[in-house]
Amino acid sequence: MGIYLNPKNAGFREAVRSEIYVDKTGLIEYTNKYMNTEQKYICVSRPRRFGKSMALKMLAAYYSRGCDSQELFKGRKIWRKKGFKEHLNQYDVICLNMQQFLIEAPDGKVTAYLEQEVTEELRAEYAEILGGRSMGLAAALRKIYVETDRQFVFLIDEWDCVMRERQDSEAMQKQYLDFVRNLLKDQPFVALVYMTGILPVKKYGEHSALNMFTEYAMTDQDVFEEYTGFTEEEVRELCRQYDMDFEETGSWYDEYTFIRYQHIYNPKSVVESMRRRRFSNYWTSTEVYDALKIYIEMDFDGLRPDIVHMLGGGRVRINTGSFRNDMKNFEVKDDVLTLLVHLGYLGYHFETKEVFIPNKEIIQEFENAMSVSGWSEVMRVLRASERLLEDTVRGDAGKVAEALDRAHTEIASVLTYNDENSMACAIGLAYYSARKDYVLIREFPSGKGFADIVFLPLPHTDKPALVVELKYAKTPGAAIQQIRDRQYVQALENYAGEILLVGISYDRDKGSKPHDYVIERAAK
């Protein structure tokens, strides 16, 4: 056993002994399924804090020859699955953290340093086969395979760090990709490769060195959806154990959306909130907002309005196909938005091809980034939103209308009202601070249609629910009448608190005071 060759199972042992451990061993059923098939090259890309390294520790403990990991897996989800014992501790495993090699390599010679370190361990384990001959890593592995018929499982963490941290060194990137291709592609000693990073692999310029990999990215995790983060069921159970409110947990850390699993939670943040028994932004503790600031300030036509649109609770349709899977080459705004999906700052809906800001934690990251850059007009609207909510709850329609007029003036240069949808996003932005106490739902299914916006209070608050209907170039009275006629309140029949009906209209012909507002209390 060594650092790179057949590492011990201590990493996974620490995980299962931790205060909070969520069983993700079902992942092994899929890696066993792909072993020695054409799908044996797996690249799983996710943001930081989403358990990539944890998965590699688990796979290392399971596959590494020389370990006895049976007790660690006993009773877990993989325990009774077909093939569990067949593959348990049966392979030579090579674990590579590319970040380590990038940091430690003298003179930036990453691959030479990697070959030196790993080959040294191979020579210690297979001295009789390798002898004193000088050879590269791929050659040494082929020699071992020919002599022993043993195959290797490769577990590679931070595979893309060279691309992310050496963005201007195309020569280094090309040499690195050539090395990885030569080491892995079409080699008989490869049983499985499980590679993780933040970015997918396929489009670094014209150099498609790693086209043998099947990609599982934040735009489509496919069979690995359940293992991307915590599922709704897993979080509900943690909330029960730690006496934490499930709905508020969702408002903070949910809404990474896939096809089968519509609710995937940030695992690192959920664990921290449970352990500390309080909701907070744990994203900032592991990553500063400087990167987000750089990307949202990029000068692409339509990017700024799209960000504002999403801050207001809206969604933006994008084309992810033009993204070149790096952090330097951007052609259009959609490339920037796609990168933000891979970094975890945006959620992505596969079927509608739309992006959105997923939860409170990420909203705060956008607020942090905007507060130190050129978003002063938007920040003024956000800071005024606390007072706007108070005036709404008090039923002061006059002050609410005035506040919306001021908010519209502030953001008119960024977000233009041209229909009820854009108006809804502007209203969502004006009520930004409501997210502390409410869940905002656009197009809420209710009665005989869909309410434009519903503000549902979180359980810890004593705020009233708000049912909001918007009218463009009509009266707020017509909006209230639609709420009543279509029985929008009916969907809240199990809500015991007070419900306010809010009708908002916008008419550009009214000059400096284009908003009208009506607030009524729903009958009990």
Place of tokens 């009202």: 417
Query: What's the confidence (pLDDT) of residue 289?
Result: 59
Contact 74, 232 (CB under 8 A): no
Query: What's the confidence (pLDDT) of residue 277?
Result: 96
Query: What's the confidence (pLDDT) of residue 204?
Result: 56
Which of the residue ranges 203-217, 300-314, 421-435, 502-516 has the most confident prediction, judged by mean pLDDT? 300-314
What one-character DSSP code corresponds to residue 508?
Answer: G
Distance CA 235, CA 412 (A): 40
pLDDT digits (tens, 9 = 90+) for 376-393: 888 888 888 889 888 888
What is the 3-class SS of 219-262, one letter each residue? CECHHHHHHCCEEHHHHHHHHHHHCCCHHHHHHHHCCECCCCCC
Span 308-332, average pLDDT: 88
Query: What's the confidence (pLDDT) of residue 358?
Result: 94
Q: For residue 344, is it left (φ>0), alpha (ψ between -120 and 50) or beta?
A: left
Name the average pLDDT for the chain. 89
Q: Cα 506 to chain center, whole Å?
A: 36
Q: Are strands 438-446 and 449-457 parallel, antiparallel or unpaired?
A: antiparallel
Lowest-pLDDT range, 135-149, 251-265, 421-435, 474-488? 421-435
User: What does the block give as tokens for 44?
Assistant: 């799983």
Query: What's the confidence (pLDDT) of residue 285?
Result: 57
Distance CA 374, CA 360 (A): 22
Query: What's the confidence (pLDDT) of residue 428?
Result: 85
When pLDDT is cut at 50, 70 and 90, the band that residue 523 belongs to is confident
Residue 275, φ and ψ in degrees, nearest 5: -60, -40
Distance CA 155, CA 164 (A): 19
When pLDDT is cut at 50, 70 and 90, the band that residue 48 belongs to is confident
Q: Is the pLDDT of residue 489 over 90?
A: no
Contact 164, 45 (CB under 8 A): no
Would you call 520 helix, strand, or coil by DSSP? Answer: strand
> To the nearest 10°, the Cα dihedral for 26, 29, 32, 38?
-110
Contact 349, 257 (CB under 8 A): yes
Q: Is the pLDDT of residue 198 over 60?
A: yes
When pLDDT is cut at 50, 70 and 90, the band that residue 506 belongs to is confident
Would you call 291 helix, strand, or coil by DSSP? Answer: helix
Vertex 22: Cα angle to 98 and 263 (nearest 5): 90
Lowest-pLDDT range, 197-201, 349-353, 456-460? 456-460
Q: Is the pLDDT of residue 190 over 80?
A: yes
Residues 6+ apart with CB under 8 A from 326: 163, 167, 199, 203, 204
Which of the residue ranges 3-17, 413-427, 465-479 has the most confident prediction, judged by mean pLDDT? 3-17
Q: Domains (ranges, CATH) in the chain?
A: 10-216 (3.40.50), 231-374 (no CATH), 376-521 (3.40.1350)
Contact 471, 478 (CB under 8 A): yes
Distance CA 295, CA 293 (A): 6
User: What does the block give as tokens for 197?
Assistant: 């990073």
pLDDT digits (tens, 9 = 90+) for 219-230: 999 999 999 999
| b/e 451-478 (16+ beta carbons within 10 angstroms → b) | bbbbbbbbeeeebbbbbbbbbbebebee
Residue 441, φ and ψ in degrees, nearest 5: -125, 120
Q: Is the pLDDT of residue 146 over 60?
A: yes
Lowest-pLDDT range, 191-200, 278-287, 319-328, 350-359? 278-287
Query: What's the confidence (pLDDT) of residue 483?
Result: 87
Lowest-pLDDT range, 201-210, 353-362, 403-412, 484-493? 201-210
Query: What's the confidence (pLDDT) of residue 286?
Result: 53
What one-character DSSP code corresponds to residue 523?
Answer: P
Query: What's the confidence (pLDDT) of residue 203?
Result: 54
Place of tokens 């014209």: 206
What one-character DSSP code corresponds to residue 328?
Answer: S
List, in sequence order, every beta strand (DSSP E) within 81-144. 92-97
Query: What's the confidence (pLDDT) of residue 414?
Result: 76
Span 421-442, average pLDDT: 84
Residues 6+ apart with CB under 8 A from 314: 356, 421, 422, 424, 425, 428, 442
Q: Is the pLDDT of residue 457 over 70?
A: yes
pLDDT digits (tens, 9 = 90+) for 86-145: 999 999 999 999 999 999 999 889 999 999 999 999 999 999 999 877 889 999 999 999
When pLDDT is cut at 50, 70 and 90, the band that residue 40 belongs to is very high
